Amino acid sequence: MMRILQIAPAFFEFQRGGTELCARSLHRSLLNQPGVESHLLACVPSWHAKPGAGSDFLAPTSGRGETGIAIRGFDHFHLSQPDHLGTLRAFRDFLETYRPDRIHFHHLLYLGVEGIAMARRTCPDAEILLTLHDYYAICANDGLMTKKPDGALCYAAQPHACLQCLPEASIEAVALREQGIRAALELLDRMIAPSAFLRDRFLAWGVPAERIVHQPNALPEGWDGMAHLPARDRRAGEPAVFGFFANIMPHKGLHVLLEAALWLKAQGVEGFRIAVHGADTHAPDAYKARIAGLVETLGPAVSMRGAYGHEELPSLLAGVDAVVVPSVWWENDPLIVHQAAAIGRPVLYADLGGLAEAGAQSGGTGFPASDPAALAQRLREIIQLDGESTRTEPALAAIGQRHRPEKRPA
């Protein structure tokens, strides 16, 4: 019996991100596999939930083989877990009890570089993997590889350049951060890059080519059979409906979509609606104000639908004529592109980084990133399909079968 441990930075129920969903999906896909015993260990920061007195573990979900480990503090800059007598000791105890044959980290957040070191010391014969869902290891600016204050794209991490985004840090601190992360990555058997673009960024950062493989993400559980889900067929004279599905943050590019809509309005184009699905909980106040101003100007052409549940997503996707992904950062392998394609919804995507890869694979249509006029032209092409179906061939419906974790290269 092979024991596989997936380690997530949070439970998906508490933090609805792609990283958390991927970790949970890989775990649940293995639960009924013969010869495999799977467990999910998710970090639970204190702002999500707190364990009972005297305990470091909790079970806030009903999922089989899912455990939470309490996180009481974390050094985000160094990606370091300083609580050696609490969190790290509890992690060691869990590893000694479960004794996994494979340990699959999905982020450096919360267990930190020390978590990888603890896994290697406690389970010296285990295979230890890390899926790189973003650029956190390279970039201390929330792993975005964008520059402050304007969000310009960044192509490489260089200590002196990094200080422009991190004025409170020193050159020594930036160098120490990189040294600690590189030392932890050396302890891994393999890193997994969901996009070729991300792999190239890590190769440029100095990771040896033989230690990092390109492996696209699998679709979440339950999505393999979505190809035949009834989808919207727009009638003649009806407005085209464009869907945006993401947290409302500057790097997700909602402003680009809304500015494209303004461009269409200025050209006298009226036959469209934009449905914005996502919360602005973590958005900077200035960005919230910017979006609010655009929404007010566009009036009834835009509806702000708020956050959505994972179980709602298939029907929400099926209810739009096209999905727009206007991100202004590199992205990696955004699940929403694959999910839209699995249902047969066309995707309009910013031609940038891993998003360009996923969009091209989905059969979508690209446009230059951060260019509202170019996006407006793509929107107009959909609008002009008055009464024609926009349904695409769900070419990615089998992606979940192609990338199950037990089939990863040796």
Q: What residues does CATH 3.40.50.2000 cover in the chain?
A: 2-219+402-407, 226-383
CA–CA separation, 41 and 8 (whole Å): 6
The CATH class of 226-383 is alpha beta
Q: Which residues of the chain have pLDDT under 70?
A: 51-54, 60-61, 224-231, 387-410
CA–CA separation, 33 and 258 (whole Å): 45
- Residue 310: predicted pLDDT: 83
Q: What is the pLDDT of residues 127-150, one digit of tens each?
A: 999 999 999 999 999 999 999 888
Q: Helix (H, G, I), strand (E, B), or coil: what is residue 17?
A: coil
- Residue 408: predicted pLDDT: 43
β-pairing, 127-131 vs 347-350, is unpaired
**Of 119, 141, 137, 139, nearest to 128 (Cα)?**
119
300-330 exposure pattern, b = at least 16 Cβ within 10 A, e = fewer: ebbebeeeeeeeebbebbbebbbbbbbbbbb
- Residue 161: predicted pLDDT: 86
Q: Is the dihedral of CA 286, 288, 289, 294 positive or negative?
A: positive
What is Dmax (Cα atoms) for the chain? 67
What pTM was estimated for this model as a whole?
0.90
- Residue 410: predicted pLDDT: 34
Tokens describing residue 276: 């914005």
Cis preceding linkage at 149, omega within 30 = yes
- Residue 282: predicted pLDDT: 87
- Residue 185: predicted pLDDT: 98
β-pairing, 102-105 vs 2-8, is parallel
- Residue 394: predicted pLDDT: 56
408 in Cβ contact with 29 (< 8 Å): no
Place domain 2-219+402-407 in its CATH homologous superfamily. Answer: Glycogen Phosphorylase B; (3.40.50.2000)
